[in-house]
Amino acid sequence: MTLVVGVDAGASHTEALLAADRTPVARRTGGPGVLVPGHADKAANLIAELVAGLVRHAGGGQPLDALVVGAAGAGRESNRVALEEALRAARVALCVQVTTDGHIAVQSAFGDHPGIVLSAGTGSIGLGRDPAGVMRRAGGHGWRFGDEGSGYALARAGLGAAARAADGRGPSTELAERLPRAAGCTAVTGLLEWARDADVPAIAGLATAVLEASGAGDAVANGLVTAAARDLAAHVHALLSYFPSGQGAPVAFSGSLLSAPSPMRRAVLAALEPDSHRIVVTDVAVDPPAGAVALAARLCR
Sequence-ordered list of residues with C-beta below 8 angstroms from that of 122, at least 6 positions apart, any chain: 10, 11, 12, 150, 151, 152, 200, 201, 204
- The predicted structure's pLDDT at residue 61: 67
Is 46 among the domain residues? yes
- The predicted structure's pLDDT at residue 301: 66
Is 176 among the domain residues? no
Please report, for the domain that includes residue 46, its CATH number.
3.30.420.40
- The predicted structure's pLDDT at residue 231: 96
Number of domains in the chain: 1
Q: Do 293 and 70 meet the contact criterion of CB atoms below 8 Å apart?
A: no
Is 187 among the domain residues? no
Domain ranges, residue 91:
3-108+287-299
Q: Is 128 strand, coil or helix?
A: strand
> Sign of the CA dihedral 162, 184, 197, 126?
negative
Q: Do 281 and 272 meet the contact criterion of CB atoms below 8 Å apart?
A: yes
Q: Distance from first CA to last CA of the chain, Å, rounded? A: 13
CB-based burial, 128-154: b 16+ in 10 Å, e otherwise:
bbbeeeeebbbbbebbeeebbbbbbbb
Range 45-58 average pLDDT:
89
Question: How far lies 34's CA from each of 43, 47, 71, 232, 284, in Å?
Answer: 7, 11, 6, 21, 25
Cα(122)–Cα(107) distance, integer angstroms: 21
Angle in degrees, CA 198, 201, 202, rounded to 5: 40
Q: Do 296 and 98 meet the contact criterion of CB atoms below 8 Å apart?
A: no
Model pLDDT for residues 271-283, shown as the tens digit of each residue: 999 888 888 888 8
pTM: 0.84
- The predicted structure's pLDDT at residue 75: 80
Q: What is the mean pLDDT of the chain?
A: 90
Cα(207)–Cα(68) distance, integer angstroms: 31
Nearest to 69 by CA among 98, 27, 33, 43: 98
Question: How far lies 185's CA from each of 59, 98, 135, in Å?
Answer: 47, 41, 44
- The predicted structure's pLDDT at residue 141: 82
- The predicted structure's pLDDT at residue 300: 73
Is 195 among the domain residues? no
Range 134-157 average pLDDT:
89
Q: Is 250 strand, coil or helix?
A: strand
Indicate the length of the chain as a whole number.
301
DSSP assignment string, 1-63? --EEEEEEE-SS-EEEEEEETTEEEEEEEES-----TT-HHHHHHHHHHHHHHHHHHTTS-S-
- Residue 204 pLDDT greater than 70, yes or no: yes
Is 79 among the domain residues? yes
Cα(256)–Cα(262) distance, integer angstroms: 8
Is 209 among the domain residues? no
> Band of the pLDDT at 255, cuts 50, 70, 90?
confident
Is 48 among the domain residues? yes
Is 129 among the domain residues? no
